[in-house]
């Protein structure tokens, strides 16, 4: 059974009218965004930010639709570094039920993902439960496992079965290990749509990035790194532009950025992944990423793809 009918059912049975937040919550009416923006990467309780501040943050950025990525179970095992990686790396993000609840309160404005610790025996069953409720993505997968492990591949197959993408946090020596082998996964799972994210993903846009321990490299970029090649060579590979790693990649070499956004304009997805409660200006990483995309996109059509259209189609939000 695929999730689309359930997603339509969920949306149709929940309360509408999520387009505006009352002044008692925000302190003032929030104007509608001039153009729609989809943020594919946010979390509930992110560093203790409550839902009212999350809602304010998203609207302040001009985001019209947000995908919430839950954490997995709180467990002590090697894949969570004996519990230290719980809450998505200690960020205090919370689980599946919390993102469903946010969507129920704000249907059409928020969508939810499904997640679980990769190597828990019940991971597939737990994730499938929320896919049947209408989850639009698996992730954020952020656990200390090999990216080509048997347990990971079970989830890749599940994503293909339910026709949802799976988002992986690549961080050398810490999460989703073996990035240099990921091309083999892309070949073996052609029906699964993968979204790459985080430090190792973005460091490897540079062909000359050789020290994988350097997670936020600076300076000029030579095109043709692993990430560049994965995006170019595999139709099932997409990129999440969120977090400090994504913003660093955009800002470190403006000439490279213009070419990168142009050649991968059909594969790039805007995400914020920031925990502030401001949603604007230099205090907000997500707002800076939106500004950078608008500055460096080769034309308006490419900008709209990256900020909205690619995600709308990949997550099938036009059919939700």
CB 259 within 8 A of CB 250: no
Q: Which helix (H) or strand (E) segment is 240 a member of?
A: strand 237-240
pLDDT tens, position by position, 243-276: 999 999 999 999 999 999 999 999 999 999 999 9
For 221, other C-beta atoms within 10 Å of its C-beta total 23
Q: How many residues does the chain have?
A: 320
Residue ranges of alpha helices (H) inside 39-180 are 51-61, 86-90, 96-105, 123-133, 150-162
pLDDT computed for residue 41 by the predictor: 98
Residue pLDDT, tens place only, 189-222: 999 999 999 999 999 999 999 999 999 999 999 9
Q: Tokens at residue 94, please?
A: 């919370």
Domain locations in the chain as residue ranges: 4-12+35-319
Mode of pairing for the β-strands spanning 166-169 and 194-197:
parallel
Residue range 23-47: average pLDDT?
A: 69
Res 34 pLDDT > 90:
no
Nearest to 46 by CA among 89, 88, 103, 91: 91
Query: Distance (Å, rounded) from C-alpha 225 to C-alpha 205?
Result: 5
| Model pLDDT for residues 74-87, shown as the tens digit of each residue | 999 999 999 999 99
pLDDT of 1 > 80? The answer is no
Query: Rounded to an integer, what distance in angstroms lies between the CA atom of residue 139 and that of residue 242?
Result: 14
Average pLDDT score over residue span 55-80: 97
The pTM (predicted TM-score) of the whole model is 0.90
Q: Is the peptide bond before 261 cis (omega within 30 degrees of 0)?
A: no
**Residue (of 283, 307, 279, 280) closest to 293 by Cα position:** 307
Q: 4-12+35-319 belongs to which homologous superfamily?
A: Metal-dependent hydrolases (3.20.20.140)
């Amino acid at each position: 059974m695929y999730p689309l009918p359930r997603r339509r059912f969920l949306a149709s049975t929940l309360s509408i009218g999520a387009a505006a937040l009352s002044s008692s919550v925000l302190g003032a009416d929030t104007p509608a965004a001039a153009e729609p923006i989809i943020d594919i990467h946010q979390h509930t309780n992110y560093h203790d930010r409550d839902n009212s501040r999350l809602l304010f943050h998203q609207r302040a950025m001009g985001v019209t639709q947000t995908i919430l990525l839950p954490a997995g179970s709180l467990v002590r095992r090697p894949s969570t570094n004996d519990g230290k990686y719980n809450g998505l790396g200690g960020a205090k993000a919370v689980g599946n039920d919390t993102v469903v609840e946010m969507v129920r309160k704000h249907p059409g404005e928020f969508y939810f993902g499904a997640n679980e610790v990769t190597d828990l025996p019940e991971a597939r069953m737990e994730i499938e439960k929320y896919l049947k409720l209408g989850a639009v993505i698996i992730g954020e997968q952020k656990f200390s496992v090999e990216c080509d492990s048997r347990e990971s591949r079970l989830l890749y197959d599940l994503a293909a079965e339910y026709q949802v993408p799976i988002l992986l946090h690549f961080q050398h020596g810490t999460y989703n290990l073996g990035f240099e082998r990921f091309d083999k996964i892309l070949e073996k799972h052609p029906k699964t749509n993968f979204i790459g994210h985080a430090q190792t993903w973005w460091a490897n846009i540079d062909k000359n990035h050789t020290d994988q321990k350097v997670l936020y490299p600076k300076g000029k970029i030579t095109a043709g790194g692993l990430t560049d090649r994965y995006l170019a060579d595999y139709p099932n590979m997409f990129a999440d532009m969120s977090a400090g790693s994504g913003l660093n990649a955009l800002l470190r070499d403006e000439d490279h950025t213009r070419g990168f956004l142009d050649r991968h304009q059909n594969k790039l997805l805007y995400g914020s992944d920031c925990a502030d409660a401001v949603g604007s200006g230099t205090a907000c990483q997500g707002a800076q990423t939106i500004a950078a995309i608008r500055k460096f996109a080769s034309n308006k059509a490419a900008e709209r793809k990256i900020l909205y259209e690619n995600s709308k189609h990949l997550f099938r939000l036009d059919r939700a």
